[in-house]
Structure 1
């Protein structure tokens, strides 16, 4: 894959940012008046395209090129965001070409995480398309000398109703080039009822290249004269190299250099290691096998999962170090409860395990101090900033090309692989591609933190929940902040006082204790929610059973009759209870909840969760054989993610993928820690779901509501695990309180 920008693409980016005007307040609303740009040059070329914004280019052949600014990590954003512009622009999708945008301040925020790409860009992209359409209408009206109100856009052309005349967009380019950008108040957006593209099924713009094996991903990047590198870090997390047999490695076939990188103490930054640079990835990998390093293992060598579990057990009987929420009198509530239930829930550290291991190509040019990067990253701006703070290279001297990622799930929000590649490139002085092995990827991840929840709940004589206590034991790194040493819980490892059902109960105590560790942690798909939903909705199910209540009715009672519960805690998000009640009732209806009598060994379970602005409820139906073999027969999903599904194909893909990913994470993966080392090394001992284990049927229902459009990459995953575990209890009478599920004997008689 030849990745450097073509001259035509460089011209496009250059001309479309000249003479820019800002409409509104958001950087994403940047428009460039082509006439203003031309006035500052020698004149407008005869074949100049119409570039009304940094995101839109219309050629004289009628082809529309749209910039997709967010990183594509498999979530489909490279297709769906341009669809919004194309809808307003009234252009047939077959006449649209998509170009991945590099990191560029003109594009505004370019991160892909937290299911934010759609909600952060939806309204602005509608305005982008509508403004370009308005200018084309005005151009046609000028040519025909008719009122613009008599003209309309459809299928890549402007139509004059009274005379039935038509001009294609390509023919309108010369006239449109001379027009000023209209005031935002004069631009009319389409009525959603008239949408013809949004809400339909559109295949991914890269699908053909993916299925035919064409180079698309970071690991495919090729540059002239490029070298290849591996980077070896201490097997003990947080350790560093003292010495290595570098001379012996340099003498091996194909090896060009080998050296120690000092790195720093930032667990999520440039960790110390040994670099090997060779003429091919294979030569670098072979040389690595003969590398001998003396390591300073550091305090992380004392870490073990068994020790962490013992510390968590000891903490269970003590007050938490931090009180997150304290409402009412929990002790009195338990004393007066008809029944109390106590349970402990445990889950391990896990890896992101994206199919494409981390990689980055870097080219540092000492002559002018510039750096060019080709990175499959979810957060290019953060990557650029980390390079600047680590090496002192000014941002204006860094060019970062965003390359399609072979999966992310939050892992590529971190930028350690980018600074590693940069450190090697600075030493080598030629283009170099760093490639992690699968073992690197698994054992040096920024892991989803493990956790321990010690829970107690009480119900009254009517089966109503009257008291809730959760002591959460989590993991934290020690960091320096404003001159102070503090413990910072890992991403997704900090419980909010607003978590359901905390805000809903008169008597609630939420506590947290952090275990200090040297394990790097980072966001994992639906951070926090992916495990909290399993813990809370599994325990809620236990309480419903103890109170003799139907699980759906018990949850509806818990939600209450208020429409909004305001946020007051760490996350501070208001919770639209009416939306959650609607999805819960709808999933009960669509699944036929309570209308089917299951045989022993079969059962249904329910759960819901509010995550990343999405309201989702799920029902899982399972069959468990007497020997304990689980089959998920059916999963029914109801989502409320706002007023519009952008790409129905992409939305269905995200729901199905979330269900399968959620089931996989429930059933198999875990990382053991022994003497500071991750024990598992590859997919032979880090199992993931295989095709025969996937649900037989996944049913999807999207509620169309009058709320802002939001994302779908994360909200569907959290409710899957508790729905399945609650169904397992209904089928077998066995509760699952430890992940992964493979550690629980599900056999019954």
Structure 2
């Protein structure tokens, strides 16, 4: 299960601030009665009550377009009993000691913060009520709140939160575990649609992103990296570069990918990025890369074919006796599936700005995981984590790429090499494509056995991917609970590993984006062999509603069936029809089932409509943003499946230069309509940045089969 943030009364701190009183609840919430002269950009922990009775709420997590910058403040504002019109939102700096976990990944923000942020708001409200009760000499139970005001209905007395903030700071802090949270029936903010706070600024082109960072006196860095991943600098001659007016120097650094003591990145620093970039042509570098130039896409294909034809090196999950069950099966279905390496292709290339001064390092970083970046950057810069200040900028696309902080590590070392000068390090598009942390490729040989009654009685998968010493590389894992393994009596999920020099990483809905294609497409084949459609095979295989323990999360068969039934109903599913495909997946605590409708015109595939049903628990905190997230997942998933996305490697290096080599989904290829329905169930709410993506890929593949009669078992789906 996802980690939650525990707040307690024990660590409440009382402090003071110029212009007002400050109360820090477990280093997690601050009430400040700011004077009219207090700086507007000062943010203390989560809450600042302003003199005009507006309330500034700090959004602690990185914002990458998933809407968390609005969602988290909604939770606090709801329990404080504010009117949304009173709320002002500011991005906090990165400081996990003050704010708790700050990460954008794994669709974890909602399950981690659903209770803690509400407790923060409820505690703030309670202390304001206590302050009013003491001021008026009445029982706090006789008071209520509304729109940032404490009210005593019997007397007609009212007091704004701003007028009470100083007195509230003097109250005994409540036990956060015991604060009273609102009955959901009383929610006024949670469950209502709120637009993104940054949208007007983005539309106007205002500087919000890391790439927009401007610091007085700033200089610029362009990177030079070994084409073959894992190669290091043997030697370099920078005489030609230093002769260029405006070039300040060349700094050799370790990006964190190669052993300590080695350099794999050279950064040319100049008074403009264009000048630094052009100066790369004059830099003579010899690379130590002989150990990494033998890797290629063609070699992976050959090695994978040999691996899956043999015996798995290890088993990640085994139940029953699948070989015996297959020997007795009425029907046996076999198929091979595969998918390629993928890049993240974020529209904002990797960047970070650093300033080293007086032994301290200040960073402006578009990071999804700033705590990890803090630790790693401190290590490579010879500093302590407390020596770093990290300002979180808005992120122009992350999808998991910015969970890895090489850009922070590089910028920190360059800044330290040029003390007193702010340095912005910026990858260009080719740098970004060729030095990503890629979604690993994979190959699967699957076998399923059906009983005489059409029941799925056995399943085997031999999965070939990348790893060393019997362990997968980052993001190449297959979960022991990979569906349908938990609900099949006889299962063997086996894995074999081969080497790669590529850096790998998590891509939106990691593992799930590939496994859903493999298993749901294969199950569609199994269903056809059983004389069923995929939804019906799923229902029969899921069985009675129950929770099944898992490695990371419990799987609830009833919730899975709920979304299957919902999407089939809304889409008018009638079984196998031409041009329609179905897919289901449980990913990041969310249950999603999807139907894709397609057509062909002049040999071109068109996605006409996608139907989505999702179960993310009892509450959809921000319906507008939830709809946007579901739409974005569908479009990105279709892009992975159908527009030729794959990363090709030759001689240890990636060949992609730009979007011409790795196309993103275009408007004319997007579905004409995406219909989304949320199935509410009596479970805590979960995240939505990822779980709607995986099912659309097999749903599309299954739709293509239904329309053309050709089964596509390899991504991207090359439909001709």
Distance change >3 Å, CA 517–CA 201, structure 1 → 2: same
Q: Unaligned stretches of 5+ in structure 1?
A: 1-10, 36-43, 479-485
Could you tell me how far apart the structure 1 residues matched to 2:230 and 2:166 are?
61
> 1:357 aligned to 2:349?
yes
Contact kept? 1:59, 1:170, Cα under 8 Å:
yes
CA drift at 1:357: 0.3
> What do the CA deviations read for 1:258-284 (whole angstroms, capped 9, x no partner)?
243366653899861221000011111
CA drift at 1:337: 2.1
Question: What is the TM-score normalised by the length of structure 2?
Answer: 0.93
CA drift at 1:96: 1.2
Question: In the TM superposition, what are the counterparts of 1:710-721 in structure 2 within 5 Å?
Answer: 710-721=686-697
Question: What is the TM-score normalised by the length of structure 1?
Answer: 0.89
RMSD: 2.5
> 1:498 aligned to 2:481?
yes
CA drift at 1:434: 0.1
What is the total number of aligned residue pairs between the two structures? 702
Could you tell me how far apart the structure 2 residues matched to 1:647 and 1:735 are?
39
CA drift at 1:67: 0.9
Contact kept? 2:314, 2:470, Cα under 8 Å:
no
Counterpart of 1:582 in structure 2 is 562
> 1:409 aligned to 2:394?
no
Distance change >3 Å, CA 745–CA 139, structure 1 → 2: closer
Contact kept? 1:233, 1:271, Cα under 8 Å:
no
CA drift at 1:566: 2.0
Contact kept? 1:238, 1:298, Cα under 8 Å:
no
Distance change >3 Å, CA 418–CA 186, structure 1 → 2: closer
CA drift at 1:190: 1.2
Could you tell me how far apart the structure 2 residues matched to 1:612 and 1:15 are?
44
Counterpart of 1:38 in structure 2 is none
Distance change >3 Å, CA 716–CA 172, structure 1 → 2: same
Could you tell me how far apart the structure 1 residues matched to 2:175 and 2:257 are?
51
Counterpart of 2:590 in structure 1 is 614
Contact kept? 1:16, 1:32, Cα under 8 Å:
no
Distance change >3 Å, CA 440–CA 265, structure 1 → 2: closer
Distance change >3 Å, CA 363–CA 85, structure 1 → 2: same
Question: In the TM superposition, what are the counterparts of 1:185-584 in structure 2 within 5 Å?
Answer: 187-261=179-253, 266=258, 272-365=264-357, 368-429=358-419, 430-476=421-467, 478=468, 486=469, 488-567=471-550, 571-584=551-564
Question: In the TM superposition, what are the counterparts of 1:615-630 in structure 2 within 5 Å?
Answer: 615-625=591-601, 628-630=603-605
Could you tell me how far apart the structure 1 residues matched to 2:73 and 2:255 are?
40
Counterpart of 2:10 in structure 1 is none
Could you tell me how far apart the structure 2 residues matched to 1:681 and 1:15 are?
54
Distance change >3 Å, CA 263–CA 629, structure 1 → 2: closer
Contact kept? 1:270, 1:416, Cα under 8 Å:
no
Distance change >3 Å, CA 48–CA 293, structure 1 → 2: closer
Distance change >3 Å, CA 678–CA 159, structure 1 → 2: same
CA drift at 1:63: 1.4
Contact kept? 2:329, 2:452, Cα under 8 Å:
yes
Distance change >3 Å, CA 52–CA 679, structure 1 → 2: closer
Counterpart of 2:3 in structure 1 is none
Could you tell me how far apart the structure 1 residues matched to 2:525 and 2:20 are?
59
> What do the CA deviations read for 1:192-237 (whole angstroms, capped 9, x no partner)?
1111111111111111110000000101111111110011110011
Could you tell me how far apart the structure 2 residues matched to 1:15 and 1:342 are?
72
Could you tell me how far apart the structure 1 residues matched to 2:260 and 2:480 are?
27
> 1:117 aligned to 2:117?
no
Could you tell me how far apart the structure 2 residues matched to 1:244 and 1:127 are?
56
Contact kept? 2:617, 2:681, Cα under 8 Å:
yes
CA drift at 1:394: 0.8
Distance change >3 Å, CA 276–CA 52, structure 1 → 2: closer
Could you tell me how far apart the structure 1 residues matched to 2:506 and 2:335 are?
27
Counterpart of 2:120 in structure 1 is 128
> What do the CA deviations read for 1:598-622 (whole angstroms, capped 9, x no partner)?
5xxx421111111111111111111
Contact kept? 1:17, 1:32, Cα under 8 Å:
no
Counterpart of 1:686 in structure 2 is 662
Distance change >3 Å, CA 271–CA 506, structure 1 → 2: farther
Could you tell me how far apart the structure 2 residues matched to 1:78 and 1:12 are?
27
Contact kept? 2:258, 2:264, Cα under 8 Å:
no
Q: What secondary structure sits across from 2:658 in the alignment?
A: coil
Could you tell me how far apart the structure 2 residues matched to 1:697 and 1:508 are?
39
Contact kept? 1:492, 1:527, Cα under 8 Å:
yes
Could you tell me how far apart the structure 2 residues matched to 1:407 and 1:52 are?
26
